[in-house]
Amino acid sequence: MRRTTRREFLGNIGAGVVGATAAGLLGSGTVRAQTDTKRPPNIVFILIDDLGWADVGCYGNTFNETPHIDALAKQGVRFTSAYAACPVCSPTRASILSGQYPARIGITDFIPGHYRPYAQLEVPVNRQQYMPLETVTIAEALKTAGYTTGMFGKWHLGGMEYFPDKQGFDAMLVTGGRHFKFDTHPDIELDEDAYLAETLTEYAEAFIEANQDKSFFLYLSHYAVHIPLEARQALIEKYEAKKKPATGVNNPIYAAMVEHVDDSVGQIMTKLRELDLEENTMVVFMSDNGGLYRRFDEAGPAVTSNAPLRDEKGTLYEGGIREPLIVRWPGVVDAATTCDEPVTSVDFYPTFLDVSGAAQPHAHILDGVSLVPLLKGGKRLKRKNIYWHYPHYHHSTPAGAVRAGDWKLIEFFEDGRLELYNLRDDIGETRNLAAEQPKRAEKLRKRLAAWRDSLDAAMPVPNPNHDPARATEWGRRPVAKKRGIDAKGQSK
């Protein structure tokens, strides 16, 4: 197959690739037409990979430089209790696109998932190693309201037969591999020193420009700041020479990667401004899970710290699931505001339906609630609980969690241990109150169990091959042979 030149791809990006049809999703078989005088707002969703809650300036970081993300917060609302639906990537991405908890959709670990052959528990495998095509994604739903849709970056929800063009996206560039020398689909000719975050931003800008006369949904899904740690040398040297704060990890390469994605946010905002689209565009900025302190197998350098939050990616402590979230929506969202109401990644789907005027697809269950009341100045949502189900080994042991108001319960599946925290008083989860408040802990445990039952959530079982002496060993789960970005899975 001939490789596509950069010029060809950019020239044709407005036309996109063959995508899923929107016909029939509303039951009428028609796509809602737009008027030229008053179009529904454009929606730009920028998702960063593994960016921690405390990695950007407006959330308290004093080493990493994020002027564009900080400016976004000054122009919109900064959420202080925003959560990913899972502490790893694929399930959270599925939750965003489906509006469903990962346990419902059947993807509870990243694709293909971790494997501990001799651990105490035998953990469930994802029901399928892809997002099912019968899932009506938010891209498909928005197309019924006349939106053009584009996805650029990390997909990680299945191989080519499950790529974005099969899930409602008109234009796509799916990438994998590393930050330099990365893979793309379609196979694009790239400069020798191409850097992934810069490339994705360039194509996202081209999509905006090509679709400036219609409502569009842009899903810009950066692979940064995920390891391997790779950045432009000039930026690395800048942070190597910078004075380090007394506390924190303060990794110069990681800081440079954070600045790369900050530059991306700045370029997207500049493009919207140049095309006079800024006032009619909702911009959402978020991460897919908590920041990584160190690789799960303890290899490599320390990456970042989520302090004052406890722990990291791959755990159900706050450091694994609480995320930076900023929403800018001129004329609706008050500038320079904060919101402490707990929200989660399953909420984006119903929010975007409200923003666009699109109808909820028939028979498609939504686990989230619209954030529009909060964006319009409301203080609370009509929801009692937020749930997590992560029955896998990663940086912790298999567990589930529920947050109800200020209270959070974590249930560990190896031994049934309960940990109860009041997050208003103890954001760092340092004081387990389960023994002091057994009735509250048991009440939340029952809610969590009932929620799992309602979704038929897959649970771990005793491992017949358990060997205490080898329980912490990591293995590679048997999967079909993968070859580059064209095979099952996301990348090499």
Q: What is the pLDDT of residues 301-315, one digit of tens each?
A: 999 999 999 999 999
What is the pLDDT, as a whole number, of residue 177? 81
Tokens of 325: 């979230």
Average pLDDT over residues 421-436: 98
What is the distance between the alpha carbons of residues 193 and 209, in angstroms, rounded to a whole number? 25
What is the pLDDT, as a whole number, of residue 383? 95
User: Contact at 8 Å (CB) between 179 and 195?
Assistant: yes
- Could you tell me if residue 352 is left (phi over 0), alpha (psi between -120 and 50 degrees) or otherwise beta? alpha
The packing angle between helices 233-241 and 252-274, to 10°, is 120
pTM value is: 0.93
Per-residue pLDDT band for 9 (boundaries 50, 70, 90) equals: confident
Task: Considering only residues 414 and 176, tell me which one the structure prediction assigns the higher pLDDT.
Answer: 414
DSSP 8-class letter at 303: -
Please check the confidence at residue 6 and state whether its pLDDT lies above 90: no
Average pLDDT over residues 204-220: 97
Q: Are strands 121-122 and 399-404 parallel, antiparallel or unpaired?
A: unpaired
CATH homologous superfamily, domain 39-384:
Alkaline Phosphatase, subunit A (3.40.720.10)
Q: Terminus-to-terminus CA distance in the chain, angstroms?
A: 19
Tokens of 35: 């008027």
* Domains of the chain, residue spans: 39-384
pLDDT tens digits along 260-276 = 999 999 999 999 999 99
Kind and range of the H or E element at 152?
strand 148-153
User: Contact at 8 Å (CB) between 379 and 341?
Assistant: yes
One-letter amino acid at 255 equals A
DSSP secondary structure of 197-264:
HHHHHHHHHHHHHHTTTS-EEEEEE--TTSSS----HHHHHHHHHSPPPSSS---HHHHHHHHHHHHH
pLDDT tens digits along 29-67 = 333 444 445 799 999 999 999 999 999 999 999 999 999
What is the distance between the alpha carbons of residues 438 and 460, in angstroms, rounded to a whole number? 25
Please check the confidence at residue 27 and state whether its pLDDT lies above 90: no
Residues 6 or more apart whose Cβ sits within 8 Å of residue 474 = 114, 115, 116, 296, 297
Compute CA 187 distance to the chain's CA centroid, rounded to the nearest angstrom: 25
DSSP secondary structure of 62-113:
SSS--HHHHHHHHHSEEEEEEE-SSSSHHHHHHHHHHSS-HHHHT--SSSS-
Compute CA 406 distance to the chain's CA centroid, rounded to the nearest angstrom: 23
What is the distance between the alpha carbons of residues 237 and 243, in angstroms, rounded to a whole number? 12
What is the pLDDT, as a whole number, of residue 357? 97
User: Contact at 8 Å (CB) between 253 and 175?
Assistant: no
